[in-house]
Structures are given as C-alpha cells and as structure tokens.
C-alpha cells in the first residue's frame, strides 16, 4: 500500500471542518451524531484516502454512540499508537495509508476478537457491496 502524504492545506481543502478536526488533529466527534451508516453489506473506507478499513459484517452495536467493529478488514490497514491525552492511556487507531486518526481500540468487544474498534463516523465513508 502506497503511503499518502499531503500538506495541511491540501487536507483542509479536501475535508469538511469536522472531518479535518477528527482525522488530522486527532479530534473526536460527539457520540451519536453520525447516523449515516446503513445496514447493507459493504465496506467502510477512510474519508481521507479511500483505503478500505472495515467490513459491514464486523460491525456491531456497542451502545457507545460511535460505530464499532470487532476487527479491521486486514491487520495491515490500520496502525496503532499510544494515546496519553485526557489523563488516560488508550490505543489510538489510524489509517495505515494516510495516518488519519480514526478512533480508538478497546479490549471489551465481542467474540471472535474481544476487541472494540470505536471509530469516528466522520472519519469514514460507506461503499455498498455491488
């Protein structure tokens, strides 16, 4: 996968204000504010670079107000870093292709992985299966 690098100005031009704040400045959208995720089969893509990240079949209702998945499409499509903001230690998840901040992963998800990839909805787009 080729790495995508753009200037801050290029990202600002491409993204909405909220998508820029979340993906490029490590922000978080308010819980329950991103409702446009259909239940049909398809793929969730990075809003910044279009990389495929999560399959609809791995999505589950976590009750958190953010889209949650138990695994990415493949381990190499996301990266993880330690996030020590807000006086806590969490594992941040970012797009491996463009380094967009997507959300965080927690060890309280369902089988088969036991993980909960808690993603910002504004950081992804949905492409229906054809």
Is 95 one of the annotated active-site residues of the chain? no
Quote the longest CA-to-CA distance of the chain: 44
What residues contact residue 87 under an 8 Å CB cut-off, 6+ apart?
A: none
Q: Is residue 41 a contact partner of residue 130, using CB atoms and an 8 Å limit?
A: no
Q: Is residue 124 a contact partner of residue 45, using CB atoms and an 8 Å limit?
A: yes
The β-bridge relationship of strands 42-46 and 101-106 is: unpaired
Q: Is residue 107 a contact partner of residue 114, using CB atoms and an 8 Å limit?
A: yes
- Kindly name the residue from 46, 49, 95, 118 that is annotated as catalytic: 118
Question: What's the distance, Cα to Cα, between the start and end of the chain in Å?
Answer: 23
Q: Catalytic residues, which ones?
A: 118
């Amino acid at each position: 996968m080729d790495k995508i690098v753009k200037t801050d100005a290029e990202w600002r031009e491409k993204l909405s204000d909220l998508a820029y704040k979340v993906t490029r400045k490590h922000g978080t959208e308010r819980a329950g504010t991103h409702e446009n995720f259909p239940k049909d089969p398809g793929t969730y893509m990075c809003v910044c670079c279009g990389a495929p990240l999560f399959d609809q079949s791995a999505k589950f209702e976590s009750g958190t107000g953010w889209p949650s998945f138990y695994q990415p499409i493949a381990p190499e499509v996301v990266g993880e870093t330690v996030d020590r903001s807000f006086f806590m230690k969490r594992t941040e998840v970012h797009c491996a292709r463009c380094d967009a901040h997507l959300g965080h992963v927690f060890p309280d998800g369902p089988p088969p992985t036991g993980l909960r990839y808690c993603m910002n909805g504004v950081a992804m787009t949905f492409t229906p299966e054809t």
